[in-house]
Amino acid sequence: MTPSSENPDRAPICVAALYQFTRFADFAALRPPLLALCEEEGIKGTLLLAAEGINGTIAGSHEGIARVLAHVRALPGCADVDVKLSGADEMPFHRMKVRLKREIVTMGQPDIDPLSIVGTYVEPQDWNALIADPDTIVIDTRNDYEVAVGTFAGAIDPRTATFRDFPEWFRAERDKLLAARADSGKPPKVAMFCTGGIRCEKSTAFLKQEGVEDVFHLKGGILKYLETVPEAESLWQGECFVFDQRVTIGHGLVQGSHALCHACRRPVNAQDQSSPLYEEGVSCPACHHERSDEQRASYRERHRQEVLAAERGELHVGAVRKAGSETEPDAG
């Protein structure tokens, strides 16, 4: 896929990452008309609906995305839905899914309610000053494979495999994290960030519920920061993993340099691609030891069939299967 335009308005494909915490009385009833509109407009991607709100990333024509966003804004409590737009030169999704879930971002803490308690939002242009303060603890709330691609200078990596692991990690590390700042005589400040903001809605609510008072999070997440803050002033290092076929993006929301291992769904950089353990569509250095020879043989045949289908201008069933196994969006 070729890089997206630096100006999303000029890119042929509009990509919209969105989320909104709200209370849907009957979220299942919202699915049929939303899916029908997306299919009518040729929109692809994934939207999650739950009693606590909506989350997802979708892509399509600028006009089609505008119509879907108008529909979403008309849903209860969604007039001010958080939306981040970027561009792509090719469609980054294979199909459209609207899924019903227990949570729009899974933390596994049923008592957490971002509508009742949440951390202090920090605008992207004010973020640098906050995280440069020596009395601020900066935590990356994303999963380990995302952090490996890029993060803010000095941020703590919890090394979590899923967002469900975050509460246990914090409770185990809490005393050590907060005590490290106790000598200053000032209450510690905790600043957290994620891809687009949604995970931090829950992680900051969780810390507040755990009794941490000064909790902050980056409004709009990394996506808004990379869009807003000039690269020359940025404290971001590396690229940002996104949950679609673009894999990663950089400053200005232009497409990054990583590929995707279709065996394990992890991002693969140029060095990984030169490894003898990397085989396109089959394995990468991170997952080679996790798969058997029989599994790799199956992936190899699937990849061969996909290449043949692409040469005929067709979409192989394996590509649809891979689309169905894509990681749930952290759109916001």
How far apart are the C-alpha atoms of 42 and 174, rounded to whole Å?
47
261 is catalytic: no
Number of C-alpha atoms within 13 angstroms, CB side, residue 133?
18
Tokens of 201: 């809605």
* Residue whose C-alpha is closest to residue 226's, from 85, 16, 56, 45: 85
How far apart are the C-alpha atoms of 291 and 305, rounded to whole Å?
20
Spot the catalytic one: 38, 194, 200, 284. Answer: 194
Number of C-alpha atoms within 13 angstroms, CB side, residue 131?
24
Strand segments, DSSP code E, in the chain are 13-21, 44-50, 53-60, 82-88, 96-100, 120-122, 136-140, 150-152, 189-193, 215-218, 236-238, 240-241, 248-249, 259-260, 267-268
Count Cβ neighbours within 10 Å for each residue of 191-209 and write b for 16 or more, e otherwise.
Answer: bbbbbbbbbbbbbbbbbbe
How far apart are the C-alpha atoms of 154 and 132, rounded to whole Å?
9
Catalytic residue positions, numbered:
194
